Chain A
Amino acid sequence: AQKVTQAQTEISVVEKEDVTLDCVYETRDTTYYLFWYKQPPSGELVFLIRRNSFDEQNEISGRYSWNFQKSTSSFNFTITASQVVDSAVYFCALAGGNKLVFGAGTILRVKS
């Protein structure tokens, strides 16, 4: 069975701090895909990134970076120099067997 665990229910930081959101997954598939989504207060889940299981290169996109480590089954997400607009719920998700499985989400609050 596939499972995604986001152990951090809620994180609060002050603007300009760096913050890392943890994601640990379980799957028996050898080919799978990992995702991060952002859900701002408006409600829509916004796609941030998709990685396949064969590509362990870390990725950086502006202030966002992702660290994929198969050895620890983790796909962590770091926001550098956080801003108030980063405040949202962030979901990690896994696709492999037959559907996309979401973690419970991490609420990020960035205070000015």
Chain B
Amino acid sequence: ETGVTQTPRHLVMGMTNKKSLKCEQHLGHNAMYWYKQSAKKPLELMFVYSLEERVENNSVPSRFSPECPNSSHLFLHLHTLQPEDSALYLCASSEGDRGLYGYTFGSGTRLTVV
């Protein structure tokens, strides 16, 4: 399988639930990203991992916890979320973490918090 794959595509969770979003890339890229896209808002960069080390965390609440066990996989662990966290969560990967070759995006996970 090629490209960036995100699972699940859709997720509905209660505010007390714990769930995880998964992202997998088979492009040989060494940087991976989580973005949040809310309705009528710009793309928000949440986390950047380069060579499996977290290199950026843009003031994201602790109820979002990323994990990068290897260069091909990235997770976003969710717990005690709020309704305003409902959004499309996009994973991306790139060759190097400067984005000079652009990013390859997954299809996203559409999260609804009820």
Contact = CB atoms under 8 A, between A and B. Distances in A.
B43 A95 contact: no
7 contacts: A33-B102, A43-B88, A47-B104, A100-B94, A100-B102, A100-B103, A102-B42
Interface of A: 33, 35, 37, 42-47, 50, 91, 93, 95-100, 102-105
Contacts, number: 54
B110 A43 contact: yes
Contact of A47 (B90, B98, B102, B108): B102
Interface string B81-103: 00000001010101001111111
Contact of B43 (A42, A44, A97, A102): A102
Interface of B: 42-43, 45, 48, 56, 88, 90, 92, 94, 97-108, 110
A21 to B, nearest CB: 16
B42 A100 contact: no
B90 to A, nearest CB: 7
Nearest to A36: B102
A98 B31 CA distance: 12
B42 A44 contact: no
A93 B102 CA distance: 9
Contacts of B103: 45, 47, 100
A91 to B, nearest CB: 7
B107 A43 contact: yes
B90 A43 contact: yes
Contact of B108 (A44, A91, A99, A105): A44
A95 B99 contact: yes
Contact of B100 (A45, A47, A95): A95
Nearest to A97: B98
A91 B102 CA distance: 12
A44 B97 contact: no
